[in-house]
Structure 1
Amino acid sequence: MPHTDTPETQRANRRFMRHAMTVPLLDKETEFELARRWREDGDEQALHRLTRAYMRLVISLATRFRNYGLPYGDLVQEGNVGLMQAAARFEPERGVRFSTYASWWIRAAIQDYILRNWSIVRTGTTAAHKSLFFNLRRLRSLIDSGTRQTLRQEDRIFIAQRLGVGVGDVEIMDARLTAGDRSLNATLSDGTSDDNAAEWQDMLPCERSQPDEEIMEKHDGEYRSRWIAGALEELNERELLIIRERRLRDEALTLEALGARLGISKERVRQIEHLALKKMKAALLDKVPDPQGAGLLG
């Protein structure tokens, strides 16, 4: 849901921006000296002078993200956090201007804030999804100039290839961006006078089995267990060992491991396993009219 700044906040933002634009920029030697004094001597006056000079950079980058429905003042404050992080990590001896280095940190801080607060559902959990979130609207405008409500399949493929993500990711993110968060307690109808109106949560499918299905599954499971136990009684000791280790364990032993354990070749283990399964199948056919339908044979 978009957040709207109050008139008082908007006036305060404008005053802050006007003041920030009056602070003179620094030349290369001055900013390097200020950065050195802050890093080596902990000179807070040097830090304040360095960051104030590039507050206009924070404002410029924050303005690019105003269309995400979050308070502009918050975007600027998060950008300030990124600016402070850049000042703490800046190494002037590398020969890079502070403004170039700080731009990455400012943008990263603002984008992280947007991803955390744009929706109550976490968005952009990977680098690819983050790129998709911030570039999808731009690529959509290149495709259809905003004239279509939904993307065509060829459009999704084009965007996926440009950003290195899956087509399904593009479809999901496009749906997220075109429809905001919706409460599950919101009614399906727009009439607020109907206290008995169905809610969106009423439309969610239940993945659990129905009570009668659970009882039937339990009943059938007990029968299957007895049938299989009876079939296992038809096996001799070696056959039973092989079936248990090969078919009834979460992690089955290999033919080689069982062969070494029993002192026989892996091919002989395979033959014994095959014969044991045939015995079990014959025993089940004697007791169960339709073992395939009972879920015993696949």
Structure 2
Amino acid sequence: MTHIDDPSTQRANVRYIQGIMRMPLLARAREFELARRWRDEQDEGALHELILSYTRLVVSTASRFRGYGLPLGDLIQEGNIGLMQAAARFEPEREIRFSTYAAWWIRAAMQEFILRNWSIVRTGTTAGQKLLFFNLRRLRARIAGPNGDPLGSEGRDAIARELRVDAAEVEAMDLRLSGGDQSLSVPVSATDAGSSGEERANFIADLRPSPEDVVIGMRDAATRSRWLAEALGELSDRERVIIARRRLEEDGATLEQLGSELGVSKERIRQLESRALNKLRVSMLKRAGDVRLLL
């Protein structure tokens, strides 16, 4: 899925990037001073200077992710959120440059945005899928060579080994990336469906039961319920208690529990349950006449 900015948005992006690139870089001491002032004193001026000086990192990272077809301005906005998260969590005492620390947060924010918006179908829900999503094209191009040959089983296995994922995941992601989203409301051609002007949605089978099947199912269920009630009525009181407690409750009682309540051993409860189930089976078959009517 590719999103193209309109000309006015493109011009605004260019002006923004040009302005950001004119911002001076910070010396190490100044960078740490601003970070401390923001953390300890909540000095918004210090935060503003720190963020503006390193927004060029956001622009640079966004340019590397433009191949996913999302608007540059949106990528920059998401990267700025990552930059502000980095500023909130940065610890100057660790003696790590802010640019090094912020790069990870910027990249993570953009990658999450891409995964959410690249397709209407959520992509990359696991760590392995995310790794494949952002590395498969590069590795595929390296393996396929200049001719762009299809990725065979050997190539999938090589990528799976390098990224430490299953080959089946490589194949699934390769198929996912090779095809974009398609609307079901788009008309198909006469050569595709035999009827010009028809929409794709019209050729998708509805696997839900028909109204007739629903009514028949409800009637059959009611009949089987009546048969079961009549069959239960033929059991002794103790057998009905055992069947009800063991088979008709969501959390059925154990043999030990029923044995304790009825004053017999759990083995006797098992015998009574087996005898009661056999009685029910015979009674139900007598009423149905065919075992298939009970399924």
TM-score relative to the length of structure 2: 0.85
Corresponding residue for residue 27 of structure 2: 27
What is the CA distance between 1:229 and its match in structure 2?
Answer: 2.2
**One-letter code aligned to 2:252:** A
Matched, 1:282 2:292: no
Amino-acid identity (%): 54
Deviation by residue 1:143-173 (Cα, 9 ceiling, x = unmatched): 4248245x54565565556556666654544
Gapped runs of 5+ residues in structure 1? none
2-structure distance, mates of 1:190, 1:28: 67
Q: Give the stretch that moved more between structures: 272-281 or 35-44.
A: 35-44
Aligned to 1:295: 294
- Confirm or deny that 1:121 pairs with 2:142: no
Measure, in 2, the Cα distance between the counterparts of 1:142 and 1:260: 71
2:148 alignment partner AA: T
Number of the residue aligned with 2:36: 36
Paired residues of 2:189 and 2:196 also in contact (CA < 8 A): no
CA contact (8 A) 2:188 2:196 kept: no
Where in structure 2 are the equivalents of 1:112-261 lying within 5 Å?
A: 112-145=112-145, 147-148=148-149, 151-152=151-152, 159=159, 163=163, 169-189=169-189, 197-261=197-261
Q: CA deviation at 1:6?
A: 3.6
1:80 alignment partner, SS class: helix
Higher helix share: 2
Unaligned runs of at least 5 residues, structure 2? none
Question: What RMSD over aligned residues (CA atoms) do the two structures have, in Å?
Answer: 2.9
Query: Which stretch shifts more, 74-83 or 235-244?
Result: 74-83
> Relative to 1, partners in 2 of residues 1:189 and 1:213: Cα closer, same or farther, differing over 3 Å?
same
Partner of 1:266: 266
Are the structure 2 counterparts of residues 99 and 190 from structure 1 closer, same or farther at C-alpha, using a change threshold of 3 Å?
Answer: farther
* 1:66-94 alpha-carbon deviations (Å, 9 max, x no partner): 00111112212221221122112211012
Is the aligned partner of 1:4 residue 2:8?
no
Structure 1 runs (4+) greater than 6 angstroms displaced: none
CA separation of 1:267 and 1:131: change in aligned 2, threshold 3 A: same
State the alpha-carbon separation in 2 of the partners of residues 235 and 161 from structure 1: 63
- 1:282 is paired with a residue whose SS is helix
- How many pairs are equivalent? 292
